[in-house]
Amino acid sequence: MVLVLAIGDLHIPHRAPDLPAKFKQMLVPGKIQHILCVGNLCIEDVHDYLKSLCPDLHFARGEYDEDARYPERKTHDWSIQAWALPWPSVPWSDLDSLAMFQRQLDVDILVTGHTSQFKAYKHEGGVVINPGSATGAHSSITYDANPRFVLLDIDDLRVWVYIYELIDGQVKVDKIATTLPAH
């Protein structure tokens, strides 16, 4: 049972003041084992806050992130990768291209950011997840402005994707169950 938080595109403070309070209420230390952050946090404070939730924090830097020391991508043991910026030749919006890209990376779960648009997509090579924006910050690409993040529960090859969404001031939780392809 491994819990992984996929969160990104906060755009604090430029486009949003802070994470929604109801999210902060739920995100407490001691529960999550890994955090994958797909960039566009924007400031050090946010980084520190996420670090307090879980020491194993991985970043993929977005185009608006200030601090250049965040690495662009990191790899996990159980093959999840986070990509914030689109690879030049891979249109993020084209799912087939994404799938091919993921195949080349040879990872089971690909977490993407940048578009602030939530997505959960499965293909033969694995699963692609875009957790959306945790603050609901507007982006040039999508009008879907609900604050959102994703929590993955990985148990061997079985993955439960819990989607936490703030709608009209209430947190709504959906889940997706899927199985990773065996190697």
Partner 1 sequence: MEAEAPGNGTGDAKAMGKKGVPEWLNSSLWASSSSPPASASTTAAARLPRSPPSPKIVAPARAPIPKPPPPPRPPQPPSEAPRPSVDAPPDDRSPSRLSQEEVSRQFQLLAELSKKVVNIGELRRLASQGIPDGTGIRSIVWKLLLGYLPYEREFWMQELAKKRSQYKAFKEEFLMNPSEMARRLEESVGHKNEALETGGRGFLMRSEITHDEHPLSLGKTSVWNQFFQETEIIEQIERDVKRTHPDMQFFCGDSSLAKSNQEALRHILIIFAKLNPGIRYVQGMNEILAPLFYVLRNDPDQNNAVYAEADAFFCFVELLSGFRDNFCQKLDNSVVGIRYTISKLSELLKKHDGELWRHLEITTKVNPQFYAFRWITLLLTQEFNFVDSLHIWDALLSDPDGPQETLLRVCCAMLILVRKRLLAGDFTSNLKLLQNYPQTNINHLLYVANKLHGSSAG
DSSP 83: E
Tell whether residue 12 is a contact of partner 1 (CB under 8 A): no
Tell whether residue 160 is a contact of partner 1 (CB under 8 A): yes
Q: b/e per residue, 57-81, with b = 16+ CB within 10 A?
A: bbbbbbebbeeeebeebeebeeebb
The residue from 25, 89, 140, 170 that contacts partner 1 (CB under 8 A) is 25
Residue closer to partner 1 by CB (options 62, 126) is 126
The answer to whether the CB of 135 falls within 8 A of the CB of 12 is yes
Tell whether residue 30 is a contact of partner 1 (CB under 8 A): yes
Tell whether residue 179 is a contact of partner 1 (CB under 8 A): yes
Region 70-129 residues binding partner 1, contact defined as CB under 8 A: 95, 99, 119-124, 127
Euclidean distance between CA atoms 50 and 39, whole angstroms: 12
Minimum CB separation of residue 132 from partner 1 in Å reads 13
- Dihedral angle computed from the Cα positions of residues 142, 79, 76 and 15, in that order, rounded to the nearest 10 degrees: 0
Tell whether residue 27 is a contact of partner 1 (CB under 8 A): yes
> Would you give the distance in Å from CA 90 to the centre of its chain?
18
Minimum CB separation of residue 72 from partner 1 in Å reads 27
Residue closer to partner 1 by CB (options 42, 159) is 159
Cα–Cα separations (whole angstroms), residue 101 to 4, 55, 85, 98, 118: 22, 29, 13, 5, 19
Q: Which residues of this chain interact with partner 1, rule CB under 8 A?
A: 1, 3, 25-28, 30-31, 95, 99, 119-124, 127, 151, 153, 155, 158, 160-164, 173-179
